[in-house]
Amino acid sequence: MTFVGGLADAYAAHLTSGEVVISPVGEGNIPHIIELLQEKAPTLNLLPHPIMTKQVGK
């Protein structure tokens, strides 16, 4: 799964990759959502969009 901040970015990322893309309301929510999902499902491969990498700390 890939996380992006805007609907247009999510749609573009999905079209180019064919992967599931998550676009929560408010980019600031993404790091927290990734942390929660990793706690619930540690085997999921969650990838923040490169622009979010600094906020997630990876």
The pLDDT tens digits for 5-48 are: 778 888 888 898 888 888 877 677 778 888 888 898 888 777 66
Q: Which residues pair with 3 in a beta bridge?
A: 22, 48
Distance CA 38, CA 32 (A): 10
pLDDT band at 52 (very low <50, low <70, confident <90, very high): low
Q: Which band of pLDDT confidence, cut at 50, 70 and 90, is reported for residue 49?
A: low
Beta strand 2-3 with 21-22 is parallel
For residue 56, pLDDT beyond 60: no
Q: CA-CA distance, 19 to 13, in Å (whole number)?
A: 8
